[in-house]
Structure 1
Amino acid sequence: MTDPGRMKTRLVIEAPVESDDGQGGVLRGYVPVATVWAAVMPDSVQHGVEADADGAVVRLRIVLRSGHALSLRHRLVDGDRIYRITALRDSADRRFTELHVDYRIT
């Protein structure tokens, strides 16, 4: 899927945690579970307005070594950028995981 030498970006994998808000609802937060090296490659950019939030959505493809139990509920963090996972799959040899992510630029 990728040359391991291209994995030059350090990302933090965060898992969702939920707690009772005391009023019948849920407070959702995230906790870091791992820090990984990854290859981050552009996929596409789409400009638009969604829920009164003008900005662009940047789509990226991220490849990292397998070994992390990821789901669409996890997210990746690179400094102030928060990547939302939209799709994921393992490579044929199961050595790598390919993620499709997006983040919003406002």
Structure 2
Amino acid sequence: MSLPILNRKLVLESAERSPDGAGGYDTSWQPLGTLWAEIKSGNGSARGENALQISRVPLKITVRAAQVGSDARPSAGQRFREGSRVYAILAVTEQDSRARYLVCHAAEEVAQ
């Protein structure tokens, strides 16, 4: 196994919900910190949704491991931001038995 090349600076964000006063809620994203990552893309797909064409690309985002419970450890439901690009984290696994790196299975969705 070769070591990942962590050459992309990503901001890890977590969703925060607050009441909207009408029985629902608003979601805002709060930054938790910056992580260096390697991003590898998979095969993309496209589908129509509400008169928009949505492109979806699965990604494997590798970051250094952090202890369980740490704000620096990504988890499903969070997201990475790289400028205007947003990557939703779907699942997180350890890359190897020594748990030196985490692989975040993510997706970037872009409306066209």
Pick one of 71, 75, 80 that aligns with 1:76. Answer: 80
Aligned to 1:50: 49
| 1:93 partnered with 2:98 | yes
Q: For structure 1, which runs of at least 5 residues remain unmatched after alignment?
A: none
1:82, distance to aligned residue in structure 2 (A): 0.5
Q: Contact 1:85–1:100 (CA<8 Å) still a contact in 2?
A: yes
| Aligned length in residues | 105
CA contact (8 A) 1:2 1:63 kept: no
SS in 1 for 2:102: strand
SS of 1:44's partner is coil
Query: SS state of the match for residue 101, structure 1?
Result: strand
Map 1:4-19 onto structure 2 (within 5 A). 4=4, 6-19=5-18
C-alpha distance in 2 between matches for 1:11 and 1:2? 22
**Deviations along 1:34-92, whole A, 9 cap, x unmatched?**
10100011112112213432131111111001113332210000111100112211132
TM-score when normalising by structure 1:
0.88
Could you list the structure 1 runs, at least 4 aligned residues long, displaced by more than 4 angstroms after superposition. none
* C-alpha separation in 2, matches of 1:51 and 1:3: 42
Q: Measure how far apart 1:104 and its partner are.
A: 1.7
Gaps of 5+ in 2: 67-71
What is the root-mean-square deviation in Å for CA atoms of aligned residues? 1.6
What is the distance in 2 between the residues matched to 1:30 and 1:2?
A: 34
